[in-house]
Amino acid sequence: MTQHVIVTGGAGYIGSHACKALRAAGFIPVTVDNLSTGWEDAVKFGPFERCDLLDRDNLDAVFSKYSPVAVMHFAAFSQVGESMHDPAKYWRNNVIGSLTLVEAAVAANCLNFVFSSTCATYGDQDNVVLDENSVQLPINSYGASKKAVEDILGNFQQAFGLDHVIFRYFNVAGGDPDGEVGEFHQPETHLIPLMLDAISGKRDALTIFGTDYETPDGTCVRDYVHVCDLVDAHVLGLKWLLEGKGSRVFNLGTGDGFSVREVIDHSRAVTNKEVPYVEGARRAGDCTKLVSGSERAVTELGWAPMRSNLGEMIADAWRWHQTGHYEK
Ligand code: UDP
């Protein structure tokens, strides 16, 4: 019998790619999304249930309709800068919304849960190689909200046996090479799509947020991972849970750090166009450097990232940028 998986945020960037990967792996992804930042056009691989995570009655109805074997929980607000100005938005949606979802899952006896967390839970730890055992000291409300959900999952494991796999992402980039889905945020705040907008003249110039960080070229360093590799790990995480292997945390990165200036250089090389940019002030909440390898995901899950080199990520994003978009 085909197994249903609830995918919250399935109409968003990462969730829509996860739905495609789940479908390819033989599952039926059921997108649960309130379309606050997602796109119905991106729901292509299974049923759609328009539902807010704070709406417990509606969630209960969805669980009872599909009897899912697992939840993959992507739905969240994810802008570091905004989270510093509007923390309540992050705590209400990301934390209370997740709590409501977790309660609904437990009530429906759906005890396999894959959670989309972030390296922002580690905070700014200079000269420390981040791994899954690193101390978590988030410096922005976004990271704090994700860490709170990780803690909720631990408590629900103890109380109700909610098995969970937590993935802490580094910077997700690129898009489906077939162009069926891609990255499309309104408003856009992420580096690579903003840069491609600037290159193609859709916006004036990119602002580099801070050039006085303690990094070799003064700009922040991030570890970019291809969205297709990332969602492949989620399918492996789901299978891990369904095989009864229990709760586990995995970082998802490549171990290679690129500064903002290096991303600009790669974008110039891939697109063969100049990147208009100006140098600006630091953005509140930004960490200096977030880089991690994923040895645990590779050795334990058998994760084999195939597309996570920066040039390929930018090339896939560029192809989508020129052709793809969604309509409300
Ligand atoms: N960044 C930038 N200009 C922008 C957007 C982002 O300089 O217009 C920088 C940001 O400070 C960070 C990196 O690019 O160092 C990646 O930011 P993004 O918002 O893409 O992801 P985050 O690391 O915040 O999750």
Residue 228 banded pLDDT, cuts 50, 70, 90: very high
- Residue of minimum CA distance from atom 3 in ligand 1: 208
pLDDT digits (tens, 9 = 90+) for 304-317: 999 999 999 999 99
The superfamily CATH assigns to domain 4-173+224-252 is: NAD(P)-binding Rossmann-like Domain (3.40.50.720)
CA-to-CA distance for 231 and 266, rounded, in angstroms? 24
Whole-number Å distance, alpha carbon 7 to ligand 1 midpoint, is: 26
182: Cβ contacts below 8 Å, ≥ 6 apart? 13, 175, 176, 317, 320, 321, 324
Give the end-to-end CA distance of the chain in Å, rounded to a whole number. 34
CA-to-CA distance for 41 and 38, rounded, in angstroms? 9
Whole-number Å distance, alpha carbon 191 to ligand 1 midpoint, is: 5
CA-to-CA distance for 31 and 49, rounded, in angstroms? 6
pLDDT of residue 54: 97
Q: Which of 79, 169, 223, 260 to mutate to test the pocket of ligand 1 (most atoms within 8 A of CB)?
A: 260
**Which pTM does this prediction carry?**
0.95
pLDDT digits (tens, 9 = 90+) for 230-242: 999 999 999 999 9
**pLDDT above 70 for 328:** no
Do the domains 4-173+224-252 and 191-221+255-323 sit in the same CATH topology, yes or no? no
Whole-number Å distance, alpha carbon 243 to ligand 1 midpoint, is: 37
pLDDT digits (tens, 9 = 90+) for 86-138: 999 999 999 999 999 999 999 999 999 999 999 999 988 876 778 999 999 99
| DSSP states along 147-158 | HHHHHHHHHHHH
Q: Provide the token pair at 276.
A: 């208009």
Number of other CB atoms surrounding residue 19 within 10 Å: 30
**Could you state, in order of their start, the residue ranges of all structural domains in the chain?**
4-173+224-252, 191-221+255-323
CA-to-CA distance for 246 and 77, rounded, in angstroms? 27
- Check pocket membership of 215 for ligand 1, CB cut-off 6 A: no
Residue 263 banded pLDDT, cuts 50, 70, 90: very high
CA-to-CA distance for 140 and 144, rounded, in angstroms? 6
Fold topology of 191-221+255-323? UDP-galactose 4-epimerase; domain 1 (3.90.25)
- Check pocket membership of 79 for ligand 1, CB cut-off 6 A: no
Whole-number Å distance, alpha carbon 190 to ligand 1 midpoint, is: 6
Q: Please provide the size of the chain in residues.
A: 328
pLDDT digits (tens, 9 = 90+) for 33-75: 999 999 999 999 999 999 999 999 999 999 999 999 999 999 9
SS3 95: helix
- State yes or no: is 13 an active-site residue: no
Residue closest to 289 by CA, chosen among 102, 100, 139, 109? 139
Q: Which of 116, 140, 171, 191 to mutate to test the pocket of ligand 1 (most atoms within 8 A of CB)?
A: 191
Q: Which of 79, 222, 224, 314 to mutate to test the pocket of ligand 1 (most atoms within 8 A of CB)?
A: 222
200: Cβ contacts below 8 Å, ≥ 6 apart? 273, 321, 322
Across 213-229, average pLDDT: 96
pLDDT of residue 327: 64
Which residues pair with residue 224 across a beta bridge? Answer: 171
Phi-psi region of 310 (alpha: psi -120 to 50; beta: other; left: phi over 0): alpha
